[in-house]
Amino acid sequence: MSESDSTALVRFPPLEHLLHSAQLDGSNGTNRVLGGRTQISATTDIAAIQAWLARFIDSPNTFANYRKEAERLLLWATIAMRKPVSSLTHEDLLLYQYFLNDPQPAAQWVMPAGRKVARSHPRWCPFAGPLSQASQRQALIILNSLFSWLVSAGYLAGNPLSLSKQRARQAAPRVSRYLDDEIWLEVKRTITELPQASEREREHYARLRWLFSLLYVCGLRISEVIDNTMAGFFCRRGNDGTERWWLEITGKGNKTRIVPATSELMAELQRYRKEKGLSPYPTSTETTPLLLPIGHQQRSLTRAGVHAIVKSVFTATADRLRATDSENAWQAQQLEQASAHWLRHTAGSHMANKQVDLRHVRDNLGHESLSTTNIYLHSADDARHTETELHHKIQW
């Protein structure tokens, strides 16, 4: 297949720009409630999906994930099945589940290995490869939510996914996507051995130390790094009279939590702010992003930019390990597969392994929001700060 043929084959207009004929736009879908009362004004599948997505516009991460799964289904239905989404049956959705396990033909549906491109790129494809079992389950949960909502809105007569076998919820598997102590030491070594001769090299080094400190000590998500500011740091006196620093983070689902800002983290903050020409401590009204570009710009980095920074450290560490000793090849391979989110799993795993109370690990990572009552239970917060301070250290 030539380059031009391949490009033509995998061109997928964004959901908002898709134009379907009357046979494929869903206006006459076999699962439509035609002539009945609907609670939305949509008359086509794309408009109905957009109405559903509009509910999540205030949660960018949720919106992006839900849009991705709806768009994948829409493209598969209209291209592979030659059906509108509103004509899909239970049997069609079973075929779609098999498709998620191995999207074929790969030349049409899967981006070339190692060449993941932006959604706007003409060579973008809906998949980077077969979905894992966990990703398949998540896709079906999202699509079930979509179909259920469209039924409630009076757009669809029934939910074709509701007939699928409901599997009993299994215990969550052990987290495997994290860095063990030995590999984590090598990652830190890559950063600490960076050159610092020039001003730019020193700033690059300071930014990496600060970023990896945030991701590891606080267990932050990338989105939380780029969406929060240094005004989130505050000091509070505990019930025992000890003053402790905290970092207030607004994260997934617009939920706010406070994370212990240990003495180690505060030292790294002062180091980073000094390198950027800032005062040692931020003010409560400061708009400085948690992470800044190299140079004098006062703006947040993009999600892709932070991912690329973290990935570059992992890649450099993998290259060094592979060049040093062939016995380290398995470590290098693991690092090449790692992403920034692995550091969040690493933080949780290391805290748990060092016997930090699992309730404190849960609250540090924001797996569940604190109840309203806990706003007043500062003694529990103090115990969480003490245990995190004692057991969870980056140790540069």
| Run means of pLDDT, 10 residues per run, the chain, 396 residues | 36 61 85 82 92 88 88 93 94 93 90 73 84 87 93 92 62 62 90 94 96 91 93 91 92 85 94 95 94 91 91 91 75 84 82 69 61 36 79 85
**CA 359/CA 4 separation, integer angstroms:** 55
User: What pLDDT score does 247 carry?
Assistant: 94
Q: Strand, helix or coil at 256?
A: strand
Cα dist. 330→63, 216, 314, 322, 335 in Å? 36, 23, 13, 9, 9
Q: Which CATH class is domain 181-391?
A: mainly alpha
What angle, 0 to 180 degrees and rounded to 10, lies between the N-to-C axes of helices 133-152 and 45-53?
Answer: 100
User: What pLDDT score does 349 carry?
Assistant: 78
User: What pLDDT score does 208 carry?
Assistant: 96
User: Around Cβ 201, how many Cβ atoms within 10 Å?
Assistant: 13
User: What pLDDT score does 234 carry?
Assistant: 95
**CA 67/CA 62 separation, integer angstroms:** 8
The segment(s) of the chain belonging to CATH 1.10.443.10 are 181-391
User: What pLDDT score does 12 carry?
Assistant: 67
Closest CA to 56 of 73, 44, 72, 70: 70
Whole-prediction pTM: 0.58
User: What pLDDT score does 53 carry?
Assistant: 92
Q: What burial class does residue 151 get, using C-beta atoms within 10 Å of its C-beta: 0-12 exposed, 13-18 middle, 19+ buried?
A: middle
Q: What burial class does residue 238 get, using C-beta atoms within 10 Å of its C-beta: 0-12 exposed, 13-18 middle, 19+ buried?
A: middle
